[in-house]
Amino acid sequence: MDIKWSKRIEDLPPYLFAEIDAKKNALLKKGVDVIDLGVGDPDIPTPSNIIDALKDAADDPENHRYPSYQGMLPFRQAAADWYKERFGVELDPENEVVALIGSKEGIANTPLAFINPGDVGLFTDPGYPVYPTSISFAGGVPVSVPLYKENDFLPDLKAIPESTLSKSKLLFLNYPNNPTTAVADKAFFEDVVEFAVSNNILICHDAAYTEIAYDGYVPPSFLEVDGAKECSIEFHSLSKTFNMTGWRIGFAVGNKKAIGGLGKIKTNIDSGAFQAVQHAGIEALKNHTLGLDDRRKLFQERRDIFCKGLDAIGLAYTKPKATFYVWFSVPEGMSSKEFSSKLLEEAGIVVTPGNGFGDAGEGYARVSTTFSTERIIQAVERLKEVKF
């Protein structure tokens, strides 16, 4: 029997981190001590109050049955309450909030609700690889909007051709940004709202990193800007804020019709997040400040350690105000892939090549500080020994 893949996955490039894992595992089999600074997966355990809430909820037989497609109303209420307290944004939990099985799931499903075959979906480059993939899976045409250092890694929306805008249905944005660590202010978000309304384009803002910020910086929500709720959907993940990457729980908020469209897709694709995990999410959101400063301080300490290492070897970067990544320039004359391969082969360090996040990421690399401080110190010492 000749089983053939569909064209949508036949044409799909290998998922970035799966490809890196294959190279890393080959070295591990050879006995190499590999320091993996690739994936943003916090090493700090989930706070105990959240774990206890899960344990209690898992004992309740009511949570063993199918959950609500949209998410439990108490979970959606907790998300709305958190938005009000954190950002000053009012949300209707019944119509403007939907629970997600992690924000990745919501991002991947969103284009199915708004893109018809041949429609254009815009996404920032470099960026999360799921953005263009989700547009392609929906039958759309992914078109990148490049992010350049000279523009503080903010997109130049005025540079998008009218011929592209006329076919565009949505734009994926992400601030604080992965991988560049760039941040956006309300003035930029105001420009985005004007752009969206003028061109009838839905803004899909991935806000997974708003709570991982340093040096007194407080990232805004896109929805804080006047008119934003009329033209956008915003994704939040409990993964980064509460060290819950494996729990798969998040939510999307925003325009009622946009949330309804995503909810309709989810109704036909999944059966919702396990209710016990939603109860744990309620506990997390209601006590969102518990231990958060300590986690921020730890990530900031690790950021500073790695940045000092970059200073020592003369590689350029902008100190991150948010996220748990460091985005830096590779040595002159080297490609991103050559640099990352050299570090892996000669120093046993995994860093993510910038071009893995899109063509505009060429010339850069990204590290994550979600690994033990000791290992980051070791990585810096190894990095200093590599000859470029």
The answer to whether 177 and 153 are in contact (CB under 8 A) is: yes
Has residue 15 got a pLDDT over 70?
Answer: no
pLDDT, tens only, 152-197? 999 999 999 999 999 999 999 999 999 999 999 999 999 999 999 9
Query: DSSP 3-state assignment of 289?
Result: coil
DSSP annotation of 113: H
The answer to whether 256 and 264 are in contact (CB under 8 A) is: no
Q: What percent of the chain has pLDDT over 90?
A: 88
What's the pLDDT score for residue 52?
Answer: 98
User: Comparing 1-5, 49-53, 291-295, which segment has the lowest mean pLDDT?
Assistant: 1-5
Cα Rg, the chain, nearest whole Å: 21
Query: DSSP 3-state assignment of 15?
Result: coil
* Cα(136)–Cα(142) distance, integer angstroms: 6
Has residue 17 got a pLDDT over 70?
Answer: no
User: Comparing 27-41, 67-81, 346-360, which segment has the lowest mean pLDDT?
Assistant: 27-41
pLDDT tier for residue 276 given thresholds of 50, 70 and 90: very high
Q: What percent of the chain has pLDDT over 70?
A: 99
* Cα(225)–Cα(319) distance, integer angstroms: 26
Has residue 8 got a pLDDT over 90?
Answer: no
What lies within 8 Å, CB to CB, of 73 at 6+ separation is: 93, 94
Query: DSSP 3-state assignment of 60?
Result: coil
What's the pLDDT score for residue 9?
Answer: 83
What's the pLDDT score for residue 11?
Answer: 79
What's the pLDDT score for residue 307?
Answer: 97
Using CA atoms in the order 229, 265, 243, 48, what is the torsion angle rounded to 10 degrees?
100
Mean pLDDT confidence for 28-45: 90
What's the pLDDT score for residue 20?
Answer: 73
* Cα(77)–Cα(93) distance, integer angstroms: 5
What's the pLDDT score for residue 16?
Answer: 65
pLDDT top residue among 18 and 292: 292
Has residue 113 got a pLDDT over 90?
Answer: yes
What average pLDDT does the chain have?
95
Q: Percent helix, strand and coil across the chain, each rounded to 5?
A: 45, 15, 40
Sign, CA dihedral 173-303-29-340, equals positive
pLDDT tier for residue 239 given thresholds of 50, 70 and 90: very high
Has residue 21 got a pLDDT over 80?
Answer: no
What structural domains does the chain harbor? 7-45+291-385 (3.90.1150.10), 48-286 (3.40.640.10)
What lies within 8 Å, CB to CB, of 241 at 6+ separation is: 211, 212, 284, 288, 292
Has residue 97 got a pLDDT over 70?
Answer: yes
Token digits for 347?
Answer: 């120093």
What's the pLDDT score for residue 13?
Answer: 72
What's the pLDDT score for residue 325?
Answer: 98
Query: What kind and span of H or E run contains 141?
Result: strand 141-146
Mean pLDDT confidence for 329-335: 95
* Cα(192)–Cα(190) distance, integer angstroms: 5
Token digits for 341?
Answer: 């391969």
Q: Is 132 left (phi over 0), alpha (psi -120 to 50) or beta?
A: alpha
